[in-house]
């Protein structure tokens, strides 16, 4: 794990086009949530995704990631350990930096208007694809490649 690269990325001040995502792993399980989008926000679709969201103006990527994880799943002990990589977001112009994280806390459904549930999925099951790979094929490949090399 490259601490200099991680520190540099986390301290970057970014705007709303940056949407950091946390790949939270605990006991060989990855945390995934069923996100329900609506046409007024993007399009009518439900997909499995990791916690994360948009940076506020003037906010560092680390602050946004910590805030979004706490808002979405109530986790306050997030340890950000590595930069997995970066992918384009679902909306044109968005950038999604993806981080490998751990936590010892249980996830809670904090935003039932956005998510149906949060679930700890065994890493092996996540790697197998199926419904988990539909969230964002580029993200699934990036995350899978990283997890396979841990």
Per-residue model confidence as pLDDT tens digits over 85-130? 999 987 889 999 999 999 999 999 999 999 999 999 999 999 997 7
Separation between Cα atoms, residue 87 and residue 27, nearest integer Å: 26
Burial of 137 (0-12, 13-18, 19+ CB in 10 A): exposed
Which CATH fold would you assign to the domain 3-148?
Nucleoside Triphosphate Pyrophosphohydrolase (3.90.79)
69 compared with 139, residue with greater pLDDT:
69
Mean pLDDT of 136-146: 91
Q: How far apart are CA 19 and CA 96, in angstroms?
A: 5
pLDDT for the residue 2: 63
Tens of pLDDT along 64-81?
A: 999 999 999 999 999 999
% helix, strand, coil for the chain, step of 5? 30, 35, 35
Q: What is the mean pLDDT of the chain?
A: 92
Crossing angle of the two packed helices 3-10 and 61-73, in degrees rounded to 10 = 80
The two beta strands, 29-37 and 45-49, are antiparallel
């Amino acid at each position: 794990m490259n601490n200099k690269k991680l520190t540099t990325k986390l301290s970057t001040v970014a705007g709303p086009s940056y949407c950091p995502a946390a790949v939270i792993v605990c006991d060989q399980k990855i945390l995934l949530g069923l996100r329900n989008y609506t046409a007024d926000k993007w399009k009518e679709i439900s997909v499995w995704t990791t916690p994360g969201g948009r940076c506020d103006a003037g906010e560092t990527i680390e602050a946004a990631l910590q805030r979004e994880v706490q808002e979405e799943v109530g986790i306050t002990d997030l340890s950000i350990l590595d930069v997995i990589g970066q992918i384009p977001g679902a909306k044109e112009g968005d950038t999604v930096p993806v981080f490998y994280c751990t936590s010892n806390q249980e996830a809670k459904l904090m935003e039932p208007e956005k998510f149906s549930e949060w679930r700890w999925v065994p890493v092996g099951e996540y790697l197998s694809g199926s419904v988990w790979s539909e969230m964002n094929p580029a993200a699934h490949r990036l995350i899978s490649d990283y997890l396979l090399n841990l």
